[in-house]
Structure 1
Amino acid sequence: MPPTDAHADPVTGPAPRAGTGAEDTLDPPGTQELLAVPAEEIPGAPSTPSTPSTPSRPSPSDVFGAPGAPVTENAAGISELLDRPAAWQPAATPAGVFQLVPVRLGRDLAVISRWMNDPAVAAFWELAGAETVTAEHLRSQLDGDGRSLPCLGVLSGTPMSYWEIYRADLDPLARHYSARSHDIGIHLLIGEINNRGRGVGAMLLRAASDLVLDNRPLCTRVLAEPDLRNTPSVAAFLGAGFRFSAEVELPDKRAALMIRDRVHRAQL
């Protein structure tokens, strides 16, 4: 089961949920190296066609799978259970254009593993160690049935955060609260130190939850469960229009159930 917290600004993140490892939102080491995703690999990004017939936007199989290789629904970012996140259009934010780009293991493992090895992140996600540790965590989702999808958060063309978008109503979390059909949960980890502590987390949480609500008509709410001790994470959710719903006793932590309702999104 994927992590649960979505801290977005300073310090540390969440404690892991049972069965998946980590659970909060966090930020990585002080290293400034960035992994740039070529524009042609970001759905919806401008491209320069070589011929008039070249499509301006590559298909998920072209972008996220090697030619001729079998591409699972989740690996291609076209999970039917999540209404095909790979096709979601970018969102405009005050900090630039933001997009969720489904993870491709060969392209993204090194940078995600580096983020997971930040001591502050590792305290909550518990995925520090060799790249194989992170790879196993990612594969469990990529090779699954599509109920959870790992994504890079790309801001103005640069990967700077890691996300997991998952069906909360189909997750073990559903045993701990009154789940509704099509509830969506999110986990967030902010990767680079220069993106922390400036309100970026709250801004991205709002953008990501808007993407979910805009593209999933059957979803009435987006939720997360940061560790109650993670004050920055809870504050980021509140700043993003989520409301505190309840304290939830999970196997590995006492969590704040944070909910953003579709019916109130314009007011919060």
Structure 2
Amino acid sequence: MPPTDAGANAAPTAASAASASAVTDRGAGIGSECEDTLDLRLPDELIALFAQDTGAGIRTGTGVRTRTRTRTGTGTGTGTGTGTGSDRVSDDLLDHVAEWGPAPTPAGVFQLVPVHIERDLALISRWMNDPAVAEFWELAGSPTVTEDHLRAQLTGDGRSLPCLGVLEGTPMSYWEIYRADLDPLARHYPARPHDTGIHLLIGGVADRGRGLGSTLLRTVADLALDKRPACARVIAEPDMRNTPSVAAFLRAGFRFSAEVDLPAKRAALMIRDRSLRDLL
């Protein structure tokens, strides 16, 4: 989308022509990504949330996340149930992930089930202590480390929701679905309203290295686009060092947009566009 100003309808001057040429030269070779570099206005609701969030941290994982959100902690390890107490929150900002329902995949029926701490902490903490996971998520240690991370999301403002990925009735992955445009990440890329971010870890070693991550990433990205009509893009920011993760996003229909310097890492900004979902 071209930038606009008060003189947009005026005849071009030599200076403005030179400026336009410079912009064109800088954008050469970018293709569909050029519009990502020009749409720089932060949404008003993000600015309002930042005013409340001056101490918010950004962490590494398969991506970057804050630890704040609200959401209905529903679901069991097999895909049903109801959360209570401190886990019970509202997910209006994410269009009710708990109600997105099951989705067929080549590997079986898959469903996102919101985390219930009392039920799921031991499993997720065990995954976080796997050295291959801990290298990028940095949540190894006692279960309280993982609990603090989960509880901050579940009792936060609704920007993010931790979920178990349940495949054919078995919890086998951990996900965070979040509003990228309302996250501190938006300070580091040209966010658009309702951008939806995702983080993923595959829990079991036996489920890694056989293309399952790509299958599930595509499934979850498409669920977000189907269930969130206002969302035009799904965003991810894996660590540039995590080449298997970057490759998995590419196979899942995401495109590489840019390298982004974040406080804790250098990330690959990956985008799955609604307009390109049938082509990639």
* TM-score range for the pair, normalised by the shorter chain length: 0.7 to 0.9
Structure 1 position 24 matched with structure 2 position 42: no
Report how far residue 71 of structure 1 moved. 6.0
Relative to structure 1, the CA distance from residue 20 to residue 136 in structure 2 (aligned partners, 3 Å threshold; closer, same or farther) is farther
CA distance in 1, matches of 2:86, 2:135: 36
Q: What pairs up with 1:193-212 in 2 under 5 angstroms?
A: 193-212=205-224
In the other structure, the counterpart of 1:65 is 83
Aligned length: 213
Equivalent pair of 2:188/2:260 in contact (CA under 8 Å):
yes
In the other structure, the counterpart of 1:29 is none
Q: Any gaps of 5 or more consecutive residues in structure 2?
A: 1-55, 64-75
In the other structure, the counterpart of 1:87 is 99
In the other structure, the counterpart of 2:268 is 256
1:230 aligns with one of 242, 246, 263: 242
Query: Structure 2-normalised TM-score?
Result: 0.73
CA distance in 1, matches of 2:259, 2:105: 31
CA distance in 2, matches of 1:230, 1:70: 34
The one-letter code of the counterpart of 1:64 is T
Report how far residue 22 of structure 1 moved. 3.0
Q: What pairs up with 1:127-138 in 2 under 5 angstroms?
A: 127-138=139-150
1:103 aligns with one of 115, 118, 122: 115
CA distance in 2, matches of 1:38, 1:168: 27
Query: Structure 1-normalised TM-score?
Result: 0.76
Equivalent pair of 1:89/1:99 in contact (CA under 8 Å):
yes
Matched residue SS, 1:64: coil
In the other structure, the counterpart of 2:257 is 245
| CA deviations over 1:69-108 (Å, ceiling 9, x no partner) | 476324xxxx000000001121100000010000000100
Matched residue SS, 1:267: coil
CA distance in 2, matches of 1:197, 1:253: 24
Q: Any gaps of 5 or more consecutive residues in structure 1?
A: 1-17, 26-36, 44-62
Equivalent pair of 2:58/2:264 in contact (CA under 8 Å):
no
Relative to structure 1, the CA distance from residue 233 to residue 158 in structure 2 (aligned partners, 3 Å threshold; closer, same or farther) is same
In the other structure, the counterpart of 1:191 is 203
Matched residue SS, 1:98: strand
CA distance in 1, matches of 2:135, 2:210: 22
Equivalent pair of 2:77/2:166 in contact (CA under 8 Å):
no
CA distance in 2, matches of 1:91, 1:125: 27
Relative to structure 1, the CA distance from residue 137 to residue 38 in structure 2 (aligned partners, 3 Å threshold; closer, same or farther) is closer
CA distance in 2, matches of 1:182, 1:226: 20
CA distance in 1, matches of 2:278, 2:226: 13
The one-letter code of the counterpart of 1:181 is P
Relative to structure 1, the CA distance from residue 156 to residue 179 in structure 2 (aligned partners, 3 Å threshold; closer, same or farther) is same
Equivalent pair of 2:86/2:155 in contact (CA under 8 Å):
no
CA distance in 2, matches of 1:200, 1:193: 12
Higher relative contact order (CA 8 A, sep 6+): 1
In the other structure, the counterpart of 2:38 is none
In the other structure, the counterpart of 2:152 is 140
Q: Which has the higher helix share?
A: 2
Equivalent pair of 1:21/1:127 in contact (CA under 8 Å):
no
| CA deviations over 1:141-188 (Å, ceiling 9, x no partner) | 000011100000000000000000000000000001100000000000
Structure 1 position 215 matched with structure 2 position 245: no
